[in-house]
């Protein structure tokens, strides 16, 4: 079973986008919100898109989004480790149980997808940097992950 990725497609267009929706985010320096990013803080830098405060969704904050990314990464890694430990010794595939770098790249990829880099002057999301995806795929031995399709 392949590890599920918490991915959003970042399409070209105006406005900082989260989950491909314009006007749901603002572009801000990561240093301004680093204290609110207890999980993703070490994995993002420069200007990033963060959720806008909105009266209809007062609970959807930077902290809540960071928590949800943390929860997703933890559950994904835990599920994968359970799969690895419950199979025969000849199991081949992702080796979360013995490859910390794989888990680290998975985390970096999830954080970058969910707090994407942006251009503060233009208030627009930057094109997806495939290196985060390819680093994850390479470190975890995933040969069939098409990082280009995340553009």
- For the stretch 91-129, pLDDT in tens is 555 567 778 888 898 899 899 988 999 988 887 888 878
* pLDDT at residue 15 in the model: 57
CA dist., res. 50 & res. 30, Å (int): 9
Instruction: Please state the φ and ψ torsions of residue 3, each to the nearest 5 degrees.
Output: -70, 130
User: What are the E-state strand segments in 10-55?
Assistant: 17-18, 21-22, 25-29, 47-51
Q: Please state the pTM of the whole predicted model.
A: 0.78
* pLDDT at residue 46 in the model: 93
* pLDDT at residue 10 in the model: 29
CA dist., res. 52 & res. 85, Å (int): 41
CA dist., res. 61 & res. 59, Å (int): 6
Give the closest residue to 2 by CA, choosing from 97, 113, 143: 143
* pLDDT at residue 3 in the model: 38
Whether residue 30 is predicted with pLDDT greater than 90 in this model: the reply is: yes
The mean pLDDT value for 42-65 works out to 87
């Amino acid at each position: 079973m392949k590890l599920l990725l918490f991915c959003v497609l970042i399409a070209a267009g105006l406005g900082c986008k989260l989950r491909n929706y314009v006007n749901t985010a603002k572009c801000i320096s990561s240093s301004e919100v680093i204290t609110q990013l207890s999980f993703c803080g070490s994995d993002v830098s420069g200007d990033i898109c963060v959720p806008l405060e909105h009266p209809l969704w007062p609970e959807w904050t930077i902290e809540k989004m960071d928590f949800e990314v943390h929860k997703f990464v933890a559950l994904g890694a835990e599920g994968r480790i359970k799969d690895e430990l419950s199979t025969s010794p000849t199991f081949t595939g992702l080796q979360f149980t013995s490859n910390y770098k794989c888990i680290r790249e998975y985390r970096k990829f999830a954080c970058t997808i969910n707090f994407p880099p942006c251009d503060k002057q233009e208030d627009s999301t930057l094109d997806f940097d495939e290196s985060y995806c390819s680093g994850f795929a390479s470190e975890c031995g995933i040969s069939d992950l098409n990082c280009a399709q995340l553009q």
